[in-house]
Structure 1
Amino acid sequence: MDLSFLPDLQSMGIEWATVAMFGSLLLLLLTGMPLAFVTLLVALIFALGWFGPMAVPLIASRIFSFVNSFVFVSVPMFVLMAAILDRSGIARDLFDAMKVLAGRIRGGVAIQTLLVAVILAAMSGIIGGEVILLGLLALPQMLRLGYDRRLAIGVCCAGGALGTMVPPSIVLIIYGLTANVSIGQLFTAAFIPGFMLACFYGAYILFRAYTDHDAAPIAKPEEMSRREKLRLLKGLFLPVLVVIFVLGSIYGGIASVTEASAIGVLGVMLSTVIRGEFSVGLMLGAARQTLATVGMIVWIGIGASALVGVFNLMGGIQFVSGLIQGISDNPIVVVLFMMAILFVLGMFLDWVGIALLCMPIFVPIIKNMGMDPVWFGVVFAMNMQVSFLSPPFGPAAFYLKSVVPDDISLGEIFRSLVPFIGLQILALGILIAFPGITGR
């Protein structure tokens, strides 16, 4: 194979090669090319330019090790759970059932929305469908009742993004695969921080509701018979049962994450059968949605795995690790620098790409400094919470924009998210300052 057209990249040295590699990534991403293809193309060019044709099998083996992981099977399972939830009436009945629990307090509909968001997050760990569901179910009701628009928008967006933190989070699964740490331990460590963040949101909602009565009025109480309350509360039974079986089997050591994901899919499918909603059309639609979502994750994973593999063979990971560790002798300063890098990347890149590109560099540094990679995984997931809401490309805002009225602009959605981003940063700071919150 004639490769004379490629420059001799080895002559550049690892320092300039690193600059050239990430500069190429940035330039190609600015053209609008998908991240998966950008990383694959850059990996191929640098592999051939640095090592020659013999490097291609090394790239293939790296890719195979990524897609061959048994735990990765849990990703399409949890995505399928979310897709079935999107198409069934489970979320709608869950929202209606919460009226009984949160309907008579000031800001009750916002609290109701937050509780639904937590349960949905604990069922599937996918944010896109949750944000859209809350935008369709809860936002119109809050706006009709006279809620402050920004508070209502922020609750739907931030609540829907809780799937990043609350187990079984797909973010934690991808981190566990990349960092080679126990996903079960990650789920256990993320449990309290995830609910801590949800409590921060709840406290903010109540603060706004009771300091500004116009921001979150009390909904006109509905007269309900005991029979009607029991009927509504039945909507809680199946979702909570699925959560108990999925998370209980993981925390109880009964099933692995992969096995628990299969239990979750079976539980959601049985729920649709019991509710009389199961149909071939529903399953085909859910399967297509799952294929599209997982296909995106797999292709990004393939490209990022190839790029990191080539960069590692070039000696780039050791070079960048040395640079980062040379910033300070204080491990907390190094962690804060990493968080700043992730925060900036989160404004422009998908979280899957960030995890697969950065964690092979960051996690060895964390281990070398004597810090817990499981704790760092929870910190990473909390950082990605911020990226889901942050402009200019916060995906949660775009998901919500797809279902809101035309008079709600994308700019207004991002402005509505500012207090919630502040709460996320506060939770991130607490996690870094008090790692014991994760139980590690």
Structure 2
Amino acid sequence: MLTSILLFVVAFLFLFVGIPVAFAFGGAALLVALLSPEASLSILSLLPSRIYGIMSNATLMAMPLFIFMGLVLEKSGMAEKLLRNIGRLFGSIRGGMAIGVVAVGVLLAASTGVVGASVVMMGVIAVPAMLKSGYSPALSSGVVAASGTLGQIIPPSIVLILLGDVMQVSVGDLFAAAIVPSLILVLFYVFFILALAFLKPALAPALKGEEGESLRGVILETLQTSLPPIGLIIIVLGGIFLGVVTPTEAAALGAMGSILLTLFLRSFSLELLRYAAIQTVVFSGMIFAILIGASAFTLVFNDAGGGDLIFDFFSDHLGSPWAFIWVAMGVVFLLGFFIDFIEICFVVVPLFVPLVGHFGIDPIWFAMLLAINLQTSFLTPPFGFALFYLKGAVGDKLKTSAIYQGAVPFILLQLLLLGIVVAFPAVIVY
């Protein structure tokens, strides 16, 4: 028991002193296995076979391909044109620019799924325009950060791919299960913006159209910029839902489709290809490095009896599946304040998997609860990654306090969605 606790303490100490996540968890495993009598250093001899299994995992192969697809679309300028045109389309109503940002966030989530790229791009373009138009700093920052994180739940979500692998469930089923909760969350965002604009018009004023600009022209231009990525989304996700292709095959189609789109729209360049390839390697390498470090961590943790300890605690002291669900959700939510979703997926979620089977809980439903919960980790201060991305993108245009203040209503909306999915499991359809 002491070794299991010590393992987490050492890992968190390493994180707080600035050691990269992969080395923090891997280093903690090595140090504790070396010094503790309850764990054996020889258990790490299993790590090479674990690494081989990770690298040959067909499900995880989809992740870098979807990342590549998103980076190509982002670098090609399609996302930027989309944001500008949708902003013009909705700007004539109160809160319209904010609703436009949500709409763009949905399309970016379904076509890129890369939170950092979405938040930075929308922060650079949308935030200055919203502030100039009289929007409150808190609403401007909150809607951009929250819309940028929609890629964590809207397919093809990297979180869902990782959860599918960790929980050994179908990624295609997870993608299908995420559709209804995603729509509910987007509607929550839109209704919140409309209600706020109605109650406090000064926070989200309507915009005057540019002189000589016709609504028909704006609609046609918006359709022209939105139809290509929407077509790619339909091909990729439609193929998965119809069972024509696996998620990994669909990811490959998406990656190739994004290149063909840039050729069709005459935005392809070798620099674009180089950027997308390098950033895909960097981002994927980071995730796989964390996965390897987490594998070492879980090997030592289980060798020290930590897995059995947690299983016995939940099964004996929290005999109700509902007690387990609420405690698990509370743990994930609190950890989201301090560590990233990747570490939670690879270190914490595997501890819950045996208990999901023990209590007879639907693993797809439980995975969706985790995905919704993990989405909040991007917005929760002090270490919400979307908040950092946004602050880096806008610089001095927004105070950190305004960014934190703006995130709070959207965190509450995400928790409301979590409560609805817990109370009404039927909303998960797959």
| TM-score category (smaller protein) | over 0.9
Q: Which residue of 2 aligns with 1:77?
A: 65
For residue 380 of structure 2, the aligned residue among 373, 377, 390 is 390
Q: Does 1:318 align with 2:308?
A: yes
Q: Which residue of 1 aligns with 2:26?
A: 40
Superposed displacement of residue 150, structure 1 = 0.9
Q: How does 1:192-207 map to 2 (within 5 A)?
A: 192-207=180-195
Superposed displacement of residue 326, structure 1 = 3.4
Superposed displacement of residue 99, structure 1 = 4.5
Q: Which residue of 2 aligns with 1:437?
A: 427
Distance 1:96 1:47, change over 3 A: same
For residue 104 of structure 1, the aligned residue among 92, 100, 108 is 92
CA RMSD of aligned residues (A): 1.7
Distance 1:363 1:217, change over 3 A: same
For residue 269 of structure 2, the aligned residue among 257, 279, 297 is 279
Distance 1:401 1:329, change over 3 A: same
Superposed displacement of residue 186, structure 1 = 0.6
Give the letter aligned to residue 22 of structure 1. Answer: F
Local SS of the residue matching 2:144: helix
Superposed displacement of residue 399, structure 1 = 0.3
For the 8 Å contact 1:131–1:156, the answer to whether it is kept is: yes
Alignment size in residue pairs: 426
- CA deviations 1:222-262 (Å, max 9, x no partner) are 43174564233210110110110111111111111111111
For the 8 Å contact 1:108–1:218, the answer to whether it is kept is: yes
Superposed displacement of residue 407, structure 1 = 4.1
Q: Which residue of 1 aligns with 2:175?
A: 187
- What is the distance in 1 between the residues matched to 2:97 and 2:186? 15
For residue 14 of structure 2, the aligned residue among 28, 34, 38 is 28
Question: Which moves more between the two structures, 250-259 or 312-321?
Answer: 312-321
Local SS of the residue matching 2:396: coil
For residue 285 of structure 2, the aligned residue among 295, 301, 309 is 295
- What is the distance in 2 between the residues matched to 1:225 and 1:299? 50
For residue 153 of structure 1, the aligned residue among 132, 135, 141 is 141
Local SS of the residue matching 1:417: helix
Question: Which moves more between the two structures, 394-403 or 45-54?
Answer: 45-54
- What is the distance in 2 between the residues matched to 1:95 and 1:358? 36
For the 8 Å contact 1:106–1:217, the answer to whether it is kept is: yes
Q: How does 1:344-355 map to 2 (within 5 A)?
A: 344-355=334-345
TM-score, reference length from structure 2: 0.95
Q: Which residue of 2 aligns with 1:11?
A: none
- What is the distance in 1 between the residues matched to 2:88 and 2:349? 44
Distance 1:232 1:27, change over 3 A: closer
Local SS of the residue matching 1:289: helix
TM-score, reference length from structure 1: 0.93
- CA deviations 1:107-132 (Å, max 9, x no partner) are 11111110010011011222111101
Superposed displacement of residue 420, structure 1 = 0.8
For residue 266 of structure 1, the aligned residue among 252, 256, 263 is 256
Identity %: 39
Superposed displacement of residue 100, structure 1 = 6.5
For the 8 Å contact 1:238–1:271, the answer to whether it is kept is: yes
Q: Does 1:170 align with 2:158?
A: yes
Local SS of the residue matching 1:254: coil
- CA deviations 1:34-65 (Å, max 9, x no partner) are 11112112222344555645433212222222
- What is the distance in 2 between the residues matched to 1:43 and 1:90? 44
For residue 238 of structure 1, the aligned residue among 225, 228, 232 is 228
Local SS of the residue matching 2:203: coil
Structure 1 runs not aligned, ≥5 long: 1-14
Give the letter aligned to residue 367 of structure 2. Answer: G
- What is the distance in 2 between the residues matched to 1:36 and 1:405? 29
Q: Which residue of 1 aligns with 2:49?
A: 61
Distance 1:211 1:225, change over 3 A: closer
- What is the distance in 2 between the residues matched to 1:148 and 1:318? 51
- CA deviations 1:269-289 (Å, max 9, x no partner) are 111111211111111111111
Q: Which residue of 1 aligns with 2:404?
A: 414
For the 8 Å contact 1:100–1:233, the answer to whether it is kept is: no
Local SS of the residue matching 1:402: helix
- What is the distance in 2 between the residues matched to 1:197 and 1:433? 15
- What is the distance in 1 between the residues matched to 2:46 and 2:324? 32
Superposed displacement of residue 405, structure 1 = 4.1
For residue 330 of structure 1, the aligned residue among 320, 335, 338 is 320
For the 8 Å contact 1:327–1:334, the answer to whether it is kept is: no
- What is the distance in 1 between the residues matched to 2:228 and 2:48? 44
For the 8 Å contact 2:6–2:32, the answer to whether it is kept is: no
Q: Does 1:113 align with 2:101?
A: yes
